[in-house]
A and B are shown apart, each in its own frame.
Chain A
Amino acid sequence: MNKQNKVAHPYIPNTVPQVQAEMLREIGAQTLDELFDGIPEELHYKKVMNIPKALSEYELRRYMEGILEKNINTKEYLNFLGAGCWNHYVPAVCDEVNQRAEFLTAYAGDPYEDHGRYQALFEYQSLMAELVDMDVVNVPTFDWAQAAATSIRMSSRITGRKEVLLPKTISPDRLKVIKNYCSPDIECILVDYEEDSGQINLKDLEEKLSANTAAVYFENPSYLGFVETQGKKISKLAKSYEAITIVGVDPSSLGVLAPPSQYGADIVCGDLQPLGMHMNFGGGQSGFIATHDDLKIVQEYPSRLFGIAPTVVEGEYGFGDVLYDRTSFAKREKGKESVGTQTALWGITAGVYLSLLGPNGMYELGKSIMQKSQYAMGRLGNIPNVVASRFESTNFKEFVVDFTHTGRTVKEINKFLLDNGIFGGKDLSEEFPELGQCSLFCITEIHSKEDIDRLVSTIQQCLDSIRNEERNGVHAKN
């Protein structure tokens, strides 16, 4: 097909040949190729890229939906996976707001084009501040891991120290992000946990605390689902060494669990994903950082912080960047870490979620998660040789189930569950080999009694099948 007959591409209006000719004439060029004269001849790519030819919208839809059809989602299979990404209900209003073209396609406008975006993010900061009981919240960063890593770097700058203490029960993947982000100048030192309860070993913590400690970081609930109840003691110990206390939280717990400010946190961080974001195969993660309104802390944020201010007209709210000169936008390598595109739309969505739930909704959310997960733990723990939970502590949403004494590996059990339309818990046997055959299960407000009962009876069947095999003298393969 010659150029004259080429059909204009729907995404590119000026593929119309007559328009191109007119524009070329206007700028005094003969051909499109001429526009690339600034690129040396030897760097011109002469081949045609090996990329399939264009699809029409219908063809594209059919092709893409065909690929997506190969996925099996958590509506089709019953899901008990959590481990940092949680299956909560997403209210329809959250989707409606974040799919609005105004928000979806906005980017970096000033308050004069994007007043609504500024207000929505200021409100997100404000709503989140109430939930975590802190005065300052940032425009969101990438995820919990990044929020924790930045909190650690902030602590290091505030204290001038280069060590951070973290619990051994931290998510290994989160630790990988933190370690890479903090290297080469900040050392991550892990603190032991109590074997029976999972709680931080205070003796080990005290031994590792020193005048080099910038911060003590711990989580509530922990990666392994239990509530760390020694918050006050930990922050007191940290303070005795003039170190900063950072607490990572799952915000869905904060309707019922005490906010970390009440047990001494200087910095609170965590993930917004449970507050209105679909799991999106991990693409719903979004990190927050919250602190007190203290100049020496506020000036260490790398993130944007939107503030409220009057305009020249009485009765209008205006917004803008607080201490913009902190940021790498203003100061390049002399700014605090770096800032750029992160997860602002999820911040707006979390604001919508908190507005919908309100204080009572957040309490009921926490309460129903506690009830349902306790029920699940009780039922699973009643299966012979199964221990639920592995740790003698209070749990929120997630808990460790120990299958070590069942004669089956977590891998085998998960395979059986998968064959029966269930995504079982996260296999911990590689991440925490000292726990044996343990699995991390997640129960949220979306799980019904029937769902939990089905999980329990399927695991029971799985374990019965091995007993039957043994009885019949058949040895399970693998």
Chain B
Amino acid sequence: MQKINRDHKVRNYHQAKWDEPIIFELHNSGERGITLPQVEEEIVNHVGDGVSAIPVEMVRRKAPKLPEISQNRVLRHYLRLSQETLGAAFNVEIGQGTCTMKYSPKINEAFASSPKMTELHPLQDVSTVQGMLEVMYKLDLCMREISGMDYFSFQPGSGTQSLFTMASIVRAYHEENGEGEQRDEIITTSFSHPSAAATAAVKGYKIITLQPDEDGFPDLEELKAVVSERTAGFVVANPEDTGIYNHRIKEFTKIVHEAGGICYYDQANANGLLGITRAKEAGFDMCFFNLHKTFSTPHACGGPATGALGVLNKLKEFLPGPIVENQDDQYILNDKLKHSIGKVRSFQGVPQTVLRAYAWVRALGAEGLKDVAQIAVLNNNYLYHKILTIRGASAPYIKGKRLEQVRYSWEQLTKETGVTTDDVSRRMADFAHHYWSSHHPFIVPEPFTLEPTESYSKADLDEYIASLTQISNEAYANPEIVKNAPHNSTIHRVDEQDYFENPDKWAITWRMYLKKTKKTQEINS
């Protein structure tokens, strides 16, 4: 038998394709997926059928049209759908820049799925949840070391919700100082994340967006021009999604502080900074870390997650409550914060994420955390170096080294071959890779953003590079193969426009699909 030839690094791959129907099509009248606990005879004798107590106007007359399916078939259906999903555990997941798709250690799932975690009710007496509160308290202490902040809340359920919480704190802070009305602007940058601007707008702020200068740095002169007594806050990612660290960040925060604004830090891009540099020294009043990104907890198809929010002492009383504190060697929940914005999420957020993140920090220690940053940056610069050798690819802005990610461009490839970044994205799926273009709007033409993290070996990176190289070669030699991709995926190109933009044709649920199909058939006949 010949060995599998891996000299050619591009993978000979085909994704699972099960032709699995929509779950409603599996309906078989009378089948059951599960039965429920019996209601004891004595109870029935006491209360009868229970439902007769429902006032007539509140009785459900028509049963929901849910499918009836045996357990085995339900399981098989979802296992097949799982096989048609390329989880990060399966691939060299470096194509989703800004999202830090690192390895989520398996051992941490053992903790997260322990009944000592899963079977806790959030309102139990604190004496019975000392373990969980200890985890939250101790992770807080670690986060303080990493950021220089004085206090962390784990209530926000994502980076977006953390940004929203920070915008809420900015508003409460200025209102407390009698400047709520006057300070109605928040300044951000075009390479900070969309949620930074969007969440500040939800809190009623006018958004001012600084554009990059020719090296890719936010423009300091522009900041000076827009900052004023109307400035409520400044929110920025650093490094931004270009992987460029704004070396004048202290000047930025100083200028905003002098104008009376609050500086808050979007640390979604913190993976190259652990143990290297901190939010506090750069002049920030608040920051957040995504535990599902930098701190390794699984992304879970998009949550549940945690955006750990750190503040300096002066803002502690504004945090959403309750917060965990240690009093006489007992962990307590303190809900008596003087200026608290209230709450942003039910209970204490997503504690199982906090548990995993704490385990991850303890598996690395101070030295390991710094290794994370150093290797993430090493991997990125190696990748960067290699990508620039691929025909048609470039990396706008400064030519020097980058931190943990780079926003690249296929501008030249598109000009010369007609192949776009979206085409490349679909073709990458043929080689078992995930590839994301970028946030909108596309400031960099035909962009793609790669973030290799610390989790991937040199061989892994070489495989990703080889796949991109092959696609570039195909674009120049036979662009149709790229434009018509994917070829090896579960499905082929989706007929996008009409079905997702036209109210007569879109179907967001199966019942809507059936209604609209029937209507079309009636019209046609």
Contacts and interface: CB of A to CB of B under 8 A. Distances in A.
A285 B347 contact: yes
A262 B64 CA distance: 13
Interface stretch (B1-9, B17-25, B223-231, B409-417): B17-25
Contact of A95 (B20, B113, B362, B364): B113
B342 A342 contact: no
Contacts of A85: 121-123, 346-347
A368 B39 contact: yes
Contacts of B379: 14, 23
A142 B353 CA distance: 14
Contacts of B454: 11-12, 14
A465 B37 CA distance: 34
Interface string B335-372: 00000011111111111110100110111111111111
B51 to A, nearest CB: 5
B74 A356 contact: yes
B425 interface: yes
B201 to A, nearest CB: 4
Contacts, number: 714
B158 A340 contact: yes
Interface stretch (B98-106, B257-265, B308-316, B468-476): B98-106
A193 interface: no
Nearest to B101: A107
B22 A72 contact: no
B178 interface: no
B374 A368 contact: no
Given A112-B489, A329-B439, A322 B96 contact: no
A214 interface: no
A335 interface: yes
Contacts of A96: 75
Q: Which 3 A-B pairs have the closest CB atoms?
A: A282-B347, A356-B33, A116-B84
Given A14-B379, A282-B346, A283-B349, A323 B500 contact: yes
Contact of B58 (A173, A257, A342, A371): A257
A303 to B, nearest CB: 11
Contact of B115 (A75, A259, A346, A357): A75
A324 B500 contact: yes
A155 interface: no
B121 A423 contact: yes
Contacts of B298: 104-105
12 contacts: A14-B379, A60-B363, A106-B85, A115-B489, A123-B23, A125-B508, A232-B57, A320-B496, A329-B440, A332-B197, A359-B64, A370-B54
Given A67-B134, A282-B351, A360 B32 contact: yes
Given A71-B120, A254-B64, A344-B300, A338 B160 contact: yes
A179 B344 CA distance: 10
B418 interface: no
Given A13-B457, A255-B60, A52 B40 contact: no
Interface residues on A, range: 35 or more
Select the residue from B113, B298, B370 with max chain A CB neighbours within 10 A: B298
A280 B352 contact: yes
Given A177-B344, A280-B120, A358 B33 contact: yes
* Residue among A99, A117, A341 with the highest chain B CB neighbour number at 10 A: A341
B14 interface: no
Interface string B426-467: 100100011010011100000000000011111010000000
B385 A131 contact: no
Contacts of A144: 346
B59 interface: yes
Interface string B142-157: 1001100000000001
A445 B37 CA distance: 7
A137 B508 contact: yes
A448 B207 CA distance: 56
Interface in B270-301: 275-278, 281-282, 290, 292, 296, 298-301
A442 to B, nearest CB: 9
B362 to A, nearest CB: 5
A307 B203 contact: no
A225 B272 CA distance: 49
A335 B199 CA distance: 10
Interface size class of B (residues with CB under 8 A): 35 or more
A339 B160 contact: yes
A35 interface: yes
A127 B23 contact: yes
Interface stretch (A200-208, A372-380, A454-462, A466-474): A372-380
A308 B496 CA distance: 10
A235 interface: no
B381 A370 contact: no
B341 A180 contact: yes
Given A27-B401, A329-B194, A378-B46, 16 more contacts: A12-B454, A13-B455, A20-B375, A36-B377, A52-B362, A69-B116, A106-B299, A108-B99, A123-B23, A127-B66, A143-B346, A184-B171, A184-B203, A257-B60, A309-B495, A329-B439
Interface in B170-219: 171, 180, 194-195, 197-204, 207, 209
B121 A87 contact: yes
Contact of A43 (B22, B168, B282, B457): B282
B194 A332 contact: yes
Contacts of B523: none
A48 B22 CA distance: 54
Nearest to B171: A184
A283 B104 contact: no
A449 B42 contact: yes
Contact of A351 (B23, B209, B275): B23
Given A283-B350, A310-B495, A374 B47 contact: yes
A48 B201 CA distance: 39
B362 A364 contact: no
B74 A53 contact: no
Contacts of A413: none
